[in-house]
């Protein structure tokens, strides 16, 4: 298992709305077309209205690489880079692994 938590910080409400629309457009395809993606859940952060957090769980690192290589995901990431003021990724290992 391979997991990531990714925080996206957005500079303003307009960027956040555009980001959320991209997420709504992209996530269904990820869930439908990536058998190695176990969990892919975007969240709003309660005390940070201009931040989003993605919780991602993959079967393994190869599944994550396949996710990032998928054309729709690559396009999403390219568009997101234009919107965000910061990104922080945390690579996670289950306790006891």
Average pLDDT estimate for 46-50:
97
Alpha carbon distance 8, 60 (integer Å): 23
What's the mean pLDDT when you consider all of the chain? 95
Alpha carbon distance 62, 42 (integer Å): 21
pLDDT in tens, 10-44: 999 999 999 999 999 999 999 999 999 999 999 99
Where along the chain do its domains lie? 2-92
CATH architecture of 2-92: 2-Layer Sandwich (3.30)
What is the reported pTM? 0.91
pLDDT at 96: 79
73 close to 5: Cβ distance less than 8 angstroms: no
β-bridge mates for residue 42, sequence order: 54
pLDDT band of residue 97 (cuts 50, 70, 90) is low
């Amino acid at each position: 298992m391979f997991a990531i938590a990714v925080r996206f910080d957005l500079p303003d409400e307009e960027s956040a709305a555009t980001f959320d629309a991209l997420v709504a457009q992209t996530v269904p395809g990820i869930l439908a077309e990536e058998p190695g993606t176990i969990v892919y859940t975007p969240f709003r952060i309660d005390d940070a209205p201009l931040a989003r957090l993605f919780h991602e769980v993959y079967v393994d690192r190869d599944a994550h690489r396949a996710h990032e290589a998928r054309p729709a995901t690559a396009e999403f990431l390219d568009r997101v880079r234009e919107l965000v003021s910061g990104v922080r990724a945390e690579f996670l290992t289950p306790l006891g692994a």
